[in-house]
Amino acid sequence: MSSPVATILLSNAQLMIERSIAAARALEVACSIAVVDSSGHLLSFIRQDGGDGRVSGRLP
């Protein structure tokens, strides 16, 4: 029997996006931000004006 997999709620994904935008503004950079679940499925995405699709970091 498989174990249940914890997932991220949309409200939590949106909070992650908001905090990431604040960090990007503090660094004065534009970025693209994606939040995925443990299986790699996209939960939320935003691209700031001037941001591109390159991956430059990952949160644990």
pLDDT tens, residue by residue, 1-59: 566 666 788 899 999 999 999 998 898 888 888 898 888 889 899 888 887 766 666 65
Strand partners, 44: 35
Q: What is the pLDDT of residue 22?
A: 93
Q: What is the pLDDT of residue 41?
A: 86
Q: What is the pLDDT of residue 26?
A: 93
Q: What is d(CA 1, CA 8) in angstroms, rounded to the nearest whole number? A: 22
**CA geometry: angle at 55 spanning 57 and 20, to 5°?**
55
What's the sign of the alpha-carbon dihedral 38, 43, 49, 50? Answer: positive
Q: What is the pLDDT of residue 4?
A: 66
